[in-house]
Amino acid sequence: MAGRPASPTSTSSTLSCITVATAQESPDPMSASPPGSTPPTSLGDEASIASDATIKMDQLVEGPESPEESTPIKQQPEDIPMPGVAPEETPQSVGRRSSRRQSGKVATYNVQILAGTAIHTPTKYLQKHHGNVYRGGSQGAVAAAAGANNTEVQEERSAEPQGTRESIDPVEQQIANEIAQDAHRRKSSRVDLRKEAIKNKMAATGSALAKRGQEMFSNGKDRIQQALGGSSQDSEKNSTKAIAKSSTKRSRPSTATEPEDLEEQPQQEQEFAKPKRKKWEEQGLYVGQHRGFDPRLTEGQNRQKRRLQPKENKALPLPLFNGERLLSGNPQENHRDFKLPFDVFSPLPRKIKVDGWVKLSKNRFVGDASSVWKKSNHQDGSKCYCSPEDGCGVSCHNRSMYYECNDSNCNLTPEECGNRPFAELKKRAKGNRYDYGVEVVETKDRGFGVRAMRSFDPYQIIVEYAGEIITQGECERRMKNEYKKNKCYYLMSFDNKTIIDATRGTIARFVNHSCEPNCEMIKWTVGTEPRMALFAGARGIMTGEELTYDYNFDPFSSKNIQICKCGTASCRGVLGPKPKDQGKDRKNAATSFITGTKRKIQEVLGSRGSGSAPSSPNKRQKTTSFASVALTKVQNALAETAASRAKAEKDAIEAAAQKMSREERANRRHSTHSAPVTLTSQTTSKVVTNEISRSITHGSNKVITKVSRASFPATTKRTTVSFLHKEPKPGQLRPVNKVGGMSSALQRHASALKDKSRLLSRSKTKSKIASKPPSKTPSKEAGAPSKSRSKVTASLVKPAPSQDILITASSLRSSLSAKFRQSTLTFDPMPAESSATPVVNKPINTDKIEEKDDDDDDDDDDDIVEEADPEELEKEMETILLEDEEEDEIDVDVDDEGKDIDEDTAEDEDEEDRSSSEEEFEPTRYIKKITAKQVQAAADGVVKETIAGSVRAQRRAAAVVARTSLGSLVEEGIGGDE
């Protein structure tokens, strides 16, 4: 290939903004470049490929690979010559700053970009840059060709002084020269840049041809061919070669490599990617932690704090802290749980995207809200007089009033003042993600939540709850239309009857509820306007903790009640205030509600004077129909109540019977009877009578079995069985008034107790309002309680105060007799030497009860079985129960299904109710109480009956009323106190 003379003209490309000039025309007197030296263009640079030096392409020579040569982004006038630096002259020009002079001629100069390794160059820029190349068309191709020619010339020239140089890559040579030059240059930022670029370039030189480069090369080649349309094959070949080389040199080291260059890749990676290793990775998770370490302080502050503390012996390993923790009285108080470093467990490499969440960073008024806002008087009503020493700390008046300090209400400077949380928040928002400090996370079962990405001091502001400020009317409209199908609402009542709707709002809207929260949502006054923000609680917040606050949610209706899944020890079960479902509170609430309902209904029906009835006949008719519907529904609900109560009673009876049965069996296991005795129905009564007589004779025992549900929550029925523990003698038929005896009797005759229909019908008889009696055939014995005190012997199962089931002596006797008429008991009166016969306790409601009485130490006439006189029996039973004797109590708690429940649960009961239960042991008072309640129930009718029923049913009734008529009635303007 023959070298071509440099053109006297210069060319420039508007596309690539590359200026190419020949050295001959350089006006720079300082130019050390000899004529014909290469201009400061870069062959490999894509910009050069796009250069538009079509005509002068054969006059151009390849410039040195110095960064200065490869820039030009700005367009250079064609007539301005550019001094070039030929590769071969570089050694001679050391110290002459030729490049610097050249750079003076080039309009723009960015070594990093032109080196192709500017790792900090925005990708966008590079893409654009490459884009120029691709769009360069034939002009670019020509420029590339020109570059190629330059290379050719350069190679040729290089070959002249040193014949061996043809084999050396001119680019490498150039780089070496540049480095040599650099050694003599004075330090400057530009030089540093150059060095960096050179280093990168060296790395790039060693790297493989990038795919992109290859494409560019082939594209360029095609274009050159098109543009030249038949130029010398040789020159074309060379030029394309040069382009390929340059492309390779310009490609970034991180791009795809050819197989032969793969080996070099790790070395580069080593050079460029040296990830920092965390201390804890090598030294363990406890590294850096010492006693008194405060994670909220910086390293420096912690170090300073440590210096003030006495030196400690660190001979023991860190688990020492754990030991201390265990030994300390209240571990939670003195120590925090160990937390993994945030970067160990942080599972969020990127932000979570939430559909439908439009972010707002500050409040925005919508509709009439702003006029409502303006009308209200928002004056700054607080001032503080803190000194710089106080720093507007806890004693600051503004702080205590939740007013943010500012220049008008505080004398301190922002630096001195510690009560400018919203200003702090503003500053933080300008920082990075970690400064901001919160991120959205997805929880297991509560949708999205918010997590801390940093620690927060106690009471420190975390994030503002901002969104659209709307009026109540707008809120209702949105609820009815836009949010009709929403599961989550982000509405929070705000100032002056406005509402913040954070459906479009800050991240604070994702903060979940907890019954043991770590944050608080507080309204502050900032300047003259109120603002809501989430603040850390008294414990502060550790990095990674989920942020929660107590919604204190008002569900408006039972329909909106949401189950709480916060999982804390003191969880209330629902989002919002603790339901009033215990003790009197619940009863009172139900009573007041139902009383109010009743009154309204009666008013509507006009049953309480004409004054309260609706004036208009239409209205009256309408409301009356509402009322009648309501009444029907209430009655239905009450019927359901009665049914559920009946079931509860039955369960309670069964549970009590089973309990006693168990005890009986346990007692029997100690005895050794074997010979069965058959008891006829006639003898059974006698046995009972005898037992009673004996109890009177021996008498210090009493059996009182009662169930009082009044004092327990709806889901729990408590059966209190009081009795004296006394082991019966072997062979003895235990007396009724003794524990074992009574329970035995109860068990034997449990068929009577288990007879649902009788008990239910009895309770039904007392319940005047029950529309559907659960028992079809109320038994005679289970009729209304006797007026005579003497007839009441025990309240065996008392589901509710006003619905106590009274078992009179006669009813019990009749019931038992009826059963025993068909029952046969096997009874072993005497202890047998070989009592191998197993004790058989059949279910208490079987017709035939086989029993082996193990009492074998009977010293009395226990085996004598006589016919019982009903009257006598009744009297005796009464006497027993009226005796004031020492007693032992065993509380048996049963749940809805009649199963025993934990004692702890039962202990939660209201003390007052407990004591009232105790009082009920006194039969006389008990009877009176029942009578009074019955009278009251009769007077109050339906409503009172509802109160006495299960709370579940009460709720149902209340809900029905609320849903149907009451709401409508209230809407009708009837109103009331409920």
Tell me the angle at which helices 137-159 and 233-250 cross, rounded to the nearest 10 degrees: 90
Nearest approach in angstroms of CB 442 to ligand SAM is 8
Q: Are 3 and 58 in contact (CB under 8 A)?
A: no
- DSSP for residue 419: -
Question: Does 819 interact with ligand SAM (rule: CB under 6 A)?
Answer: no
Nearest approach in angstroms of CB 469 to ligand SAM is 17
- Comparison of 39 and 467: residue with beta carbon closer to ligand SAM: 467
Question: Does 510 interact with ligand SAM (rule: CB under 6 A)?
Answer: yes
Stretch in the footprint of ligand SAM (CB under 6 A) among 255-263, 313-321, 442-450, 849-857: 442-450
Question: Does 490 interact with ligand SAM (rule: CB under 6 A)?
Answer: yes
Beta-strand runs (E) in 757-897:
792-794, 807-808, 825-826, 849-850, 889-895
Of 74, 249, 247, 49, residue with least CA distance to 134: 49
- Find where tokens 């509560």 sit: 446
Q: Are 961 and 634 in contact (CB under 8 A)?
A: yes
Q: Say how far apart CA 402 and CA 194 lie, in whole Å.
A: 58
In three-state secondary structure terms, 20 is strand
Q: Say how far apart CA 107 and CA 809 lie, in whole Å.
A: 118
- Comparison of 340 and 352: residue with beta carbon closer to ligand SAM: 352
- Comparison of 446 and 706: residue with beta carbon closer to ligand SAM: 446
In terms of DSSP bridges, do strands 499-505 and 849-850 run parallel, antiparallel, or are they unpaired?
unpaired
Question: Does 478 interact with ligand SAM (rule: CB under 6 A)?
Answer: no
- Comparison of 277 and 480: residue with beta carbon closer to ligand SAM: 480
Nearest approach in angstroms of CB 713 to ligand SAM is 22
Nearest approach in angstroms of CB 361 to ligand SAM is 18
- Comparison of 200 and 514: residue with beta carbon closer to ligand SAM: 514
Q: Are 384 and 397 in contact (CB under 8 A)?
A: yes
Nearest approach in angstroms of CB 487 to ligand SAM is 6
- Comparison of 123 and 570: residue with beta carbon closer to ligand SAM: 570
Of 171, 138, 130, 145, residue with least CA distance to 46: 130
Nearest approach in angstroms of CB 470 to ligand SAM is 16
Binding mask 360-389 for ligand SAM (x = CB under 6 A): ------------------------------
- DSSP for residue 546: B
- Comparison of 575 and 656: residue with beta carbon closer to ligand SAM: 575
Backbone CA torsion sign across 13, 18, 24, 30:
positive
Cβ-based neighbours of 396, under 8 Å, separated by 6 or more: 384, 386, 390, 405, 418, 419
In three-state secondary structure terms, 456 is strand
Q: Say how far apart CA 135 and CA 923 lie, in whole Å.
A: 106
- Comparison of 371 and 486: residue with beta carbon closer to ligand SAM: 486
- Comparison of 514 and 946: residue with beta carbon closer to ligand SAM: 514
Neighbours of 319 (CB within 10 A): 10
Q: Indicate the residue type of 608.
A: R
- Comparison of 514 and 835: residue with beta carbon closer to ligand SAM: 514
Of the candidate residues 488, 666, 784, 864, the single one contacting ligand SAM (CB under 6 A): 488
- Comparison of 561 and 882: residue with beta carbon closer to ligand SAM: 561
Q: Indicate the residue type of 97.
A: R
- Comparison of 20 and 515: residue with beta carbon closer to ligand SAM: 515
Tell me the angle at which helices 189-206 and 264-272 cross, rounded to the nearest 10 degrees: 150
**At residue 868, what are phi and psi to the nearest 5 degrees?**
-90, 140
- Among positions 572-591, residues that touch ligand SAM (CB under 6 A) are 575
Task: Copy the structure tokens of residue 528.
Answer: 């003259």
Binding mask 543-572 for ligand SAM (x = CB under 6 A): -------------------x-xxx------
Q: Say how far apart CA 821 and CA 360 lie, in whole Å.
A: 83
Q: Say how far apart CA 166 and CA 154 lie, in whole Å.
A: 10
**At residue 290, what are phi and psi to the nearest 5 degrees?**
-140, 170
Stretch in the footprint of ligand SAM (CB under 6 A) among 82-90, 331-339, 511-519, 645-653: 511-519
- Comparison of 95 and 447: residue with beta carbon closer to ligand SAM: 447
- Comparison of 534 and 958: residue with beta carbon closer to ligand SAM: 534
Distances (CA, A) of 703 to 376, 746, 927: 71, 11, 17
Nearest approach in angstroms of CB 436 to ligand SAM is 19
Binding mask 513-542 for ligand SAM (x = CB under 6 A): xx----------------------------
Q: Tell me the residue number closest to ligand SAM, measured at CB.
A: 447
As beta bridge partners, residue 448 has 442
Nearest approach in angstroms of CB 448 to ligand SAM is 4
Q: Are 149 and 58 in contact (CB under 8 A)?
A: yes
**At residue 464, what are phi and psi to the nearest 5 degrees?**
-85, 140
Q: Are 468 and 504 in contact (CB under 8 A)?
A: yes
Phi-psi region of 444 (alpha: psi -120 to 50; beta: other; left: phi over 0): alpha
Cα-based torsion angle of the residue sequence 31, 32, 35, 39 in order, rounded to the nearest 10 degrees: -60
Number of residues that bind ligand SAM (CB under 6 A): 15
Of the candidate residues 250, 454, 509, 645, the single one contacting ligand SAM (CB under 6 A): 509
Stretch in the footprint of ligand SAM (CB under 6 A) among 8-16, 126-134, 179-187, 508-516: 508-516
Nearest approach in angstroms of CB 564 to ligand SAM is 5
Question: Does 447 interact with ligand SAM (rule: CB under 6 A)?
Answer: yes
- Comparison of 567 and 975: residue with beta carbon closer to ligand SAM: 567
Nearest approach in angstroms of CB 936 to ligand SAM is 41
Of the candidate residues 512, 823, 824, 946, the single one contacting ligand SAM (CB under 6 A): 512
- Comparison of 534 and 800: residue with beta carbon closer to ligand SAM: 534
Of the candidate residues 280, 286, 365, 448, the single one contacting ligand SAM (CB under 6 A): 448
Q: Are 424 and 430 in contact (CB under 8 A)?
A: no
- Comparison of 201 and 513: residue with beta carbon closer to ligand SAM: 513
- Comparison of 537 and 730: residue with beta carbon closer to ligand SAM: 537
Stretch in the footprint of ligand SAM (CB under 6 A) among 122-130, 208-216, 505-513, 693-701: 505-513
Of the candidate residues 129, 157, 249, 446, the single one contacting ligand SAM (CB under 6 A): 446
- Among positions 134-193, residues that touch ligand SAM (CB under 6 A) are none
Q: Say how far apart CA 524 and CA 50 lie, in whole Å.
A: 62
Stretch in the footprint of ligand SAM (CB under 6 A) among 509-517, 667-675, 707-715, 950-958: 509-517
Task: Copy the structure tokens of residue 94.
Answer: 């050391």
Nearest approach in angstroms of CB 441 to ligand SAM is 10
Binding mask 658-687 for ligand SAM (x = CB under 6 A): ------------------------------
Distances (CA, A) of 488 to 155, 251, 484, 970: 74, 52, 10, 28
Nearest approach in angstroms of CB 714 to ligand SAM is 23
Stretch in the footprint of ligand SAM (CB under 6 A) among 33-41, 277-285, 446-454, 598-606: 446-454
Nearest approach in angstroms of CB 433 to ligand SAM is 20
Stretch in the footprint of ligand SAM (CB under 6 A) among 168-176, 512-520, 582-590, 672-680: 512-520
In three-state secondary structure terms, 849 is strand
Task: Copy the structure tokens of residue 241.
Answer: 């070669």
Task: Copy the structure tokens of residue 153.
Answer: 């010339």
Q: Say how far apart CA 969 and CA 512 lie, in whole Å.
A: 37
List residues binding ligand SAM (CB under 6 A): 446-448, 488, 490, 509-510, 512-514, 562, 564-566, 575
